[in-house]
């Protein structure tokens, strides 16, 4: 996917944003630029500071330090003007369960002052775009999780914003609905809209033009996926065995293994050289009596890089 940049002026610019809640620093010196027409994904575990960062960028929360501009609007001084020009879909988007799909859209058109003339085209367009036309008379309270998210997105788009902020939009939604939701986002990128999305799903983040990895309030790195993977220090082996716990114990002090990361039914082992480490690891595990041992070459993914960056930052 390629970003189309209609202007050299960034759509989003943050410089040293900081936010404290008592003794907790939720956002710590957040600095970032997002180009117009770009999809940017901010990734991190719960409590990393993603939602707070977004609230600072959309102007519903003031920073304790630093500043930000979105579409040239200062998020503190011009917050009201900014809200008219952006779309924002928080984790718990305010749908009205006792209103139908169409009535929810009309309600948000009223809030944003969308004229009757504009609505004539906009409402059918959004219903079709989100595949909700057959369900326009259904009460929002009777929609599935995936359909609720699509309706929330349609409501956030009712006033044709130039920048769209989505806070974990597919959290708790089934995989098919997640795919459909991202298909709709791809269509939006064709209109030169800028999209800023937070997610805990690494596979979703890989669909964006650039990815930011966040941990404990700090933006550790922000770059294209290929560039992020190139930052990975060392090479990677994927280890499977009948007893993964025993395999991890055996490799914990193994001289060729630099780092171990358990991921489901496999162990990701960072080494300096795949070719030199592959057979010794296999022989060590089999020699200890483990069965169904498989040691394969692997490419580092976002999870691997994130684990490495977090490890490095906690050692500093």
Residues 37 and 181 in one domain: yes
Helices (H) and strands (E) in the chain, counts: 11, 14
Q: Which CATH number covers residue 35?
A: 3.40.50.300
Domain of 270: which CATH number?
A: 3.30.70.260
Q: Does residue 3 register a pLDDT over 60?
A: no
Question: Are the C-beta atoms of residues 161 and 85 closer than 8 Å to each other?
Answer: yes
224-249 confidence digits (pLDDT tens): 998 998 888 999 999 999 999 999 99
- Are 253 and 241 within 8 A, CB to CB? no
What is the Cα–Cα distance from 156 to 81, expressed in whole angstroms? 16
- Number of C-beta neighbours around residue 168 at 10 A: 21
Percent with pLDDT over 70 in the chain: 96
Residue 309 lies in a domain: no
pLDDT at 6: 46
The answer to whether the CB of 63 falls within 8 A of the CB of 18 is: yes
Sheet order of strands, 218-223 included:
86-89, 163-167, 194-199, 39-43, 210-215, 218-223
pLDDT of 203 > 90? The answer is no
The last residue of one of the domains, among 182, 199, 229, is 229
How many whole angstroms from its chain centre is CA 15? Answer: 20
Are 94 and 136 within one domain?
Answer: yes
Tens of pLDDT, residues 141-154: 999 888 999 999 99
Q: β-strands 235-240, 218-223: how paired?
A: unpaired
Instruction: Find all residues with CB under 8 Å of 212, minimum gap 6, and list them.
Output: 32, 40, 41, 42, 43, 219, 221, 222
Give the pTM.
0.87
Residue 154 lies in a domain: yes
Domain match, 82 and 177 both? yes
Per DSSP, the three-state class of 93 is: coil
145 with 289, same domain: the answer is no
Query: Do 286 and 188 sit in the same domain of this protein?
Result: no
Residue 181 within a domain: yes
How far is the C-alpha of 120 from the C-alpha of 105, rounded, in Å? 12
Q: Which of 191, 207, 229 is the last residue in one of the domains?
A: 229
Determine, yes or no, domain membership for 210. Answer: yes
Instruction: Please indicate, yes or no, if residue 122 is contained in any of the structural domains.
Output: yes
**Alpha-carbon radius of gyration of the chain:** 23
Q: 221 and 271: one domain?
A: no
Do residue 274 and residue 136 come from a single domain?
A: no
Q: How many domains does the chain have?
A: 2
Mean pLDDT of the chain: 91
**Does residue 193 sit in the same domain as residue 247?**
no
**310 within some domain:** no
Instruction: Locate 90 and state its tokens.
Output: 């928080």
Residue 189 contacts residue 37 (beta carbons within 8 Å): yes
CA 135 – CA 129 distance, rounded (Å): 13
Residue 269 in any domain: the answer is yes
Residue 194 and residue 35 in contact, taking contact as beta carbons nearer than 8 Å: yes
Based on the domain organization, do 126 and 238 belong to the same domain?
Answer: no
Say if residue 17 is in the same domain as residue 77: yes
pLDDT band at residue 315, thresholds of 50, 70 and 90? low
Contact 272, 257 (CB under 8 A): no
Residue ranges of E strands in the chain: 12-21, 24-34, 39-43, 65-70, 73-74, 86-89, 163-167, 194-199, 210-215, 218-223, 235-240, 257-263, 266-271, 294-298
Say whether both 223 and 239 belong to one domain.
Answer: no
167 vs 93: CA distance, rounded Å: 10
116-133 pLDDT, tens digit per residue, is: 999 999 999 999 989 999
Domain-embedded: residue 7? no
What does the pLDDT read at residue 4? 47
pLDDT at 8 over 80: no
| Helix, coil or strand: residue 189 | helix
Containing domain of residue 261, as a range?
233-299
Q: Which pLDDT does position 128 carry in this prediction? A: 92
Contact 14, 183 (CB under 8 A): no
> Are 66 and 201 in the same domain?
yes
pLDDT score of 2 more than 50:
no
Render pLDDT for 74-125 as a digit per residue (tens, 0 to 9).
999 999 999 989 999 998 888 999 999 999 999 999 999 999 999 999 999 9
């Amino acid at each position: 996917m390629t970003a189309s940049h209609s202007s050299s002026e960034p759509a989003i610019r943050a410089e040293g944003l900081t936010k404290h809640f008592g003794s907790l620093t939720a956002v710590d010196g957040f600095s970032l630029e997002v180009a117009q027409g770009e999809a940017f994904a901010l990734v991190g575990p719960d409590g990393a500071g993603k939602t707070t960062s977004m609230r600072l960028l959309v102007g519903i929360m003031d920073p304790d330090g630093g500043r930000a501009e979105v579409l040239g609007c200062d998020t503190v001084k011009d917050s009201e003007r900014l809200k008219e020009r952006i779309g924002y879909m928080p984790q718990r988007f305010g749908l009205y369960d006792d209103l139908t799909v169409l009535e929810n859209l009309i309600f948000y058109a009223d809030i944003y002052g969308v004229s009757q003339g504009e609505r004539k085209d906009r409402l059918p367009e959004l219903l079709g775009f989100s595949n909700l036309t057959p369900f326009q008379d259904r009460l929002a309270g009777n929609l599935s999780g995936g359909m609720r998210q699509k309706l929330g997105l349609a409501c956030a788009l009712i006033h044709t914003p130039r920048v769209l902020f989505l806070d974990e939009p597919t959290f708790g939604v089934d995989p098919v609905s997640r795919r459909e939701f991202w298909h709709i986002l791809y269509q939006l990128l064709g209109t030169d809209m800028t999209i800023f999305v937070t997610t805990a799903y690494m596979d979703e983040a890989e669909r964006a033009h650039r990815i930011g990895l966040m941990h404990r309030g700090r933006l550790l790195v922000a770059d294209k996926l290929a560039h992020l993977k190139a930052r990975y220090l060392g090479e990677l082996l994927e280890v499977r065995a009948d007893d993964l716990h025993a395999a991890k114990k055996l490799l914990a002090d193994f001289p060729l293994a630099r780092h171990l990361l358990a991921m489901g039914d496999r162990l990701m082992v960072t080494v300096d050289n795949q070719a030199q480490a592959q057979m010794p690891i296999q022989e060590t595990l089999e020699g200890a009596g483990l069965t169904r041992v498989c040691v394969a070459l692997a490419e580092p993914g976002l999870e691997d890089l994130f684990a490495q960056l977090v490890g490095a930052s906690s050692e500093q």
